[in-house]
């Protein structure tokens, strides 16, 4: 009687594990390989239930019926496993699908022969009931065709295991752990099957075949919990992770890390957070990553940027979060975060920005940039008004004609340097034309405007430029105007007025400042 209870107990464990697996995997069948895995578990469940009922009934006919029903699981399980392994590893091509269909067809023919064996006697030679203690079981001897049919099982399954091994070899990280769990969770039932078939004396006769499903199911359930098996397809990881140098982090909808690549491990280590499978992003509380974590937890497709110091150097990064949708595009099952360093890109962008706003020769603002800053600054409010200067280098054409344009460029850069020595940090200088410069003096009184203009003129006059040992003096003419506080000054009108003042300076002998107050 104790042997009967042992068999019932073992079967009950297996059936419970199978039901739990079906409930879990049915929710994940939209993932690649998910529907095939549901079929695999269903076949195992048929086997377990049939084996369970066989232990409960008595009489030849009833026991034979349930034994035949167990063969549905026995014959379809290897093909279902192969179907799953090829789909899970991404090799379910047209030829593979045709092979799977052919194997299902062949195994179905064998099942029909088993259920009709009472009339055809093609699969079995003898069937009898034997007693082991108080327990009765069916003992079946297979015919040559039946033996051949059973011998196909390990061949079919081995190909599936080879596919998993090859996939495991070419992957890494959490996906490697997923495949490892699936491999051993599936291998245990097959090992038990082959041992019981080939070496029955080593396996206790009253331990049902379906008992082996229990430890295998526990292993796979552990994989579901620990590594989110069938939650996010490892196929995407296999094809993307090793193709890019960017960091990749895959998370569940609640922000739990389920996979990452080597680049992410290195980058996160530099960030000081160290991603780890099973951890939650929110565990790495740091101000720089708040936007990233928010995008992951809300599953928003968004880009966040942050600057962080690594080994004493400031470096820029961006993280693009992509929601992962289910096969039918209806549900979001997680997120992929792409971590990319953009320090060099930022530097080049800043250089382009500078080039777009500065004069290539002198390094000061170009005409368009100066006009934009003029409009921006004068649009605000000030208590004292603004000073505006227009500067022209005296007789600059003669300098170019006599000494050449290269020396002329040298003079332009020198004049700018002398002007910058004479103005304040807040003042803005731009090159308006060939040898013409404009200066905006924010929040400046009328007296200060006149003083700064005169200081610039004198500073340039005192300096000299060297040409082959010859000292050359350069002077400038300045038109200076003060504009009382006012919101919104029209650039063209203001500079037309200042240009007239500059013309006065040049007409009155050059090397002088003409000052006026611009009335709006």
Task: Report, as residue numbers or ranges, the catalytic residues.
Answer: 435
| CA-based radius of gyration for the chain | 42
Q: CB atoms < 10 A from the CB of 311, how many?
A: 6
Q: How far apart are CA 109 and CA 113, in angstroms?
A: 6
Tokens of 489: 């000054």
How far apart are alpha carbons 210 and 44 in whole angstroms?
Answer: 8
Number of H helices, E strands in the chain: 17, 14
How far apart are alpha carbons 10 and 292 in whole angstroms? 49
- Residue that has been written with the tokens 């895995």 in this structure: 37
Encoding tokens for residue 12?
Answer: 């009950």
Token pair recorded at residue 170: 């070419």
The CA-based diameter of the chain, rounded to the nearest angstrom, is 131
Q: Which two tokens stand for residue 223?
A: 């994989």
Q: Identify which of 186, 191, 289 has the alpha carbon closest to the alpha carbon of residue 247.
A: 289
* Residues paired with 306 in a beta bridge: 317
C-alpha triplet 131, 133, 136: angle, nearest 5°: 35
CA-closest candidate to residue 152, choices 111, 188, 184, 119: 111
Any idea which residue has 């010859």 for tokens?
Answer: 470
Q: For residue 388, list its beta bridge partners.
A: 440, 481
C-alpha closest to that of 440 among 369, 511, 510: 369
Measured between alpha carbons, how far is 513 from 439 in angstroms, rounded to an integer? Answer: 14
Question: Tokens 């070496």 correspond to what residue?
Answer: 199
**DSSP strand pairing (476-483 vs 513-518):** parallel
Tell the burial category of 285 from Cβ atoms under 10 Å away from its Cβ (0-12, 13-18, 19+).
exposed
H or E stretch covering 198: helix 173-198
């Amino acid at each position: 009687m104790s042997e009967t209870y042992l068999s019932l107990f073992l079967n009950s464990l297996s059936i419970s594990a199978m039901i739990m697996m079906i409930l879990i995997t049915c929710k994940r069948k939209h993932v690649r390989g998910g529907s095939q895995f549901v079929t695999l578990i269903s076949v195992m469940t048929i086997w377990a239930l049939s084996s369970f009922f066989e232990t409960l009934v008595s009489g030849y006919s009833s026991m034979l019926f349930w034994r035949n029903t167990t063969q549905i699981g026995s014959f379809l399980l290897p093909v279902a496993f192969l179907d799953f392994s090829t789909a899970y590893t991404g090799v379910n091509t047209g030829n593979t699908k045709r092979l799977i269909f052919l194997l299902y067809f062949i195994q179905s023919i064998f099942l029909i022969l088993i259920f009709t064996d009472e009339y055809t006697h093609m699969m079995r030679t003898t069937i009898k009931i034997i007693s082991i203690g108080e327990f009765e079981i069916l003992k079946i001897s297979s015919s040559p065709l039946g033996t051949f049919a059973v011998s196909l099982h390990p061949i079919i399954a081995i190909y599936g295991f080879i596919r998993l091994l090859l996939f495991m070899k070419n992957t890494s990280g959490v996906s490697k752990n997923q495949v490892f769990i699936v491999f051993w969770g599936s291998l245990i039932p097959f090992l038990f099957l082959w041992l019981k078939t080939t070496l029955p004396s080593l396996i206790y006769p009253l331990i049902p075949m379906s008992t082996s499903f229990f430890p295998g199911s526990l292993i796979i359930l552990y994989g579901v919990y620990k590594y989110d098996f069938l939650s996010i397809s490892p196929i995407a990881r296999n094809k993307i992770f090793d193709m890019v140098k960017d960091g990749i982090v895959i998370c569940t909808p609640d922000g739990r890390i389920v996979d990452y690549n080597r680049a992410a491990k290195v980058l996160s280590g530099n960030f000081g957070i160290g991603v780890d499978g099973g951890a939650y992003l929110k565990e790495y509380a740091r101000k720089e990553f708040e936007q990233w974590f928010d995008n992951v937890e809300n599953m928003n497709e968004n880009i966040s940027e942050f600057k962080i110091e690594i080994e004493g150097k400031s470096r820029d990064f961006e993280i693009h979060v992509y929601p992962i949708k289910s096969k039918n595009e209806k549900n979001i099952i997680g997120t992929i975060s792409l971590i990319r360093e953009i320090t060099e890109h930022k530097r080049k962008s800043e250089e382009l920005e500078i080039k777009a706003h500065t004069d290539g020769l002198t390094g000061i603002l170009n005409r368009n940039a100066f006009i934009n800053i003029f409009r921006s600054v004068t649009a605000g409010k000030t208590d004292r008004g603004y000073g505006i200067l227009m500067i022209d280098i005296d007789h600059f054409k003669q300098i170019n004609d006599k000494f050449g344009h290269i020396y002329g460029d040298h003079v332009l850069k020198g004049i700018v340097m002398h002007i910058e020595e004479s103005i304040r940090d807040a003042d803005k200088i731009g090159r308006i034309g060939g040898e013409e410069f404009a200066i905006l003096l924010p929040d400046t009184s009328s007296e200060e405007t006149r003083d700064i203009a005169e200081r610039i003129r004198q500073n340039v006059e005192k300096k000299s430029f060297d040409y082959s040992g010859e000292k050359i003096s350069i002077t400038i003419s300045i038109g200076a105007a003060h504009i009382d506080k006012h919101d919104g000054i029209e650039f063209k009108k203001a500079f037309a007025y200042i240009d007239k003042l500059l013309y006065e300076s040049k007409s009155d002998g050059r090397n002088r400042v003409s000052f006026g107050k611009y009335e709006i």
